Amino acid sequence: MRKKIVAGNWKMNLSKSEALALYQSVDAQNPANEVELIVFPSAIYLDSLKKLDGKLKIGVQNFHPAESGAFTGENSITQIKDLGAEYVLIGHSERRMYFNEDGAFLKEKVDAALQHDVKIIFCCGEPLSIREMNAQDYFVEQQLIESLFHLSNYAMERIIIAYEPIWAIGTGKTASSDQAEAMHAAIRGFIEKQYGKNTAEKISILYGGSCNASNASELFACENVDGGLIGGAALKANDFLQIAKSF
């Protein structure tokens, strides 16, 4: 059975005390079910959150693939691992769009994280213009080819994928469960074509984009949807926990 995962991307939100309070509140009510819960706070809070010693897993939203060097303002994978990050987000559309992270750069990040044994949630997803041309499958497959399909089967099986249609992120416009399932099944098909059925069946594929406490059950009921990557709704403990109980 594939791992069920609900991850909260806190983006550039919350003061330190708010981040600590949110972490503690979610951790205290963490439903002891089989769902893996992860939060992605601002990297500057990592150390303080880790010291709370909770069960809720912690990751970072960004890092630089170089081991060290003159990259002003950046943190290396070794540094964030040192502070206790177990997961990283790679390929989020906001990083692709606002920070010009392209497929080749994301591939370097994938390799760096794997090399240091940090787990990856790799985000993919099409903008509205591509969806309007009905070219989303081709677009997403290219994103996977560019940054992931150089990996061995063994490495690929350690990747978690998040499908996040850009037109649904932060817009309140969710993909319908049919649209989500169609793309998740297509993604699993691309992986199967490259790596075989056995590997494809092991990989968790999360949905992201205006997923909330009201629509999570319908999305998570889809055969190929193994959880969610949650933005706005992850900033409220009760909403996030409600989503985690939506399987």
Minimal distance, residue 9 CB to ligand PGA, in Å: 4
- From 126-134, 144-152, 190-198, 224-232, give the range in contact with ligand PGA by CB under 6 A: 224-232
> Does 208 interact with ligand PGA (rule: CB under 6 A)?
yes
> Does 230 interact with ligand PGA (rule: CB under 6 A)?
yes
Tell me how far apart the alpha carbons of residues 175 and 172 are, in angstroms, rounded to a whole number.
10
Residues marked active site are found at 92, 164
Amino acid 70 reads A
Among 101, 126, 141, 164, binds ligand PGA (CB under 6 A): 164
Write the DSSP symbol of residue 76: B
> Does 231 interact with ligand PGA (rule: CB under 6 A)?
yes
Query: How many chain residues bind ligand PGA (CB under 6 A)?
Result: 13
The position carrying tokens 């098909």 is: 189
**Strand, helix or coil at 217?**
helix
- From 17-25, 47-55, 190-198, 206-214, give the range in contact with ligand PGA by CB under 6 A: 206-214
Residue 49 main-chain phi, psi, to 5 deg: -70, -40
Task: Classify burial at 50, counting beta carbons within 10 Å of its beta carbon; exposed 0-12, middle 13-18, buried 19 or more.
Answer: middle
Write the DSSP symbol of residue 64: B
The position carrying tokens 């390929």 is: 91
Among 9, 76, 215, 246, binds ligand PGA (CB under 6 A): 9
Closest residue by Cα to residue 11 from 51, 53, 50, 40: 40
Cβ atoms of 190 and 146 within 8 Å: the answer is no
Nearest residue to ligand PGA by CB is 231
Query: What radius of gyration do the chain's Cα atoms show?
Result: 17
Assigned token pair, 61 = 């939203």
The position carrying tokens 């880790």 is: 50
Among 110, 140, 200, 229, binds ligand PGA (CB under 6 A): 229
Minimal distance, residue 62 CB to ligand PGA, in Å: 13
Q: Which is nearer to ligand PGA, 65 or 208 (CB)?
A: 208
Tell me how far apart the alpha carbons of residues 247 and 242 are, in angstroms, rounded to a whole number.
10
Minimal distance, residue 56 CB to ligand PGA, in Å: 17
Minimal distance, residue 126 CB to ligand PGA, in Å: 14
> Does 209 interact with ligand PGA (rule: CB under 6 A)?
yes
> Does 180 interact with ligand PGA (rule: CB under 6 A)?
no
Minimal distance, residue 171 CB to ligand PGA, in Å: 7
> Does 165 interact with ligand PGA (rule: CB under 6 A)?
no
User: What does the binding site for ligand PGA look like in residue numbers (CB under 6 A)?
Assistant: 9, 164, 169-170, 208-211, 229-233
